[in-house]
Amino acid sequence: MIRSALTTAAFLALGAPAFANTFTFETAAPVDEGQVVAIGTVWLCEGTVCKGDLDRKKASVRDCKKIAKKAGEIISYGNSNSKLEADDIEACKKSAR
Q: What is the pLDDT of residues 57-74, one digit of tens each?
A: 999 999 999 999 999 999
Interior/surface letters 15-47, b for 16+ CB within 10 angstroms, e for the rest: eeeeeebebbbbbeeebeeeebebbebebebee
Q: Give this prediction's pTM.
A: 0.78
Q: What is the pLDDT of residues 12-31, one digit of tens each?
A: 444 445 578 999 999 999 99
CA distance 49 to 65: 16
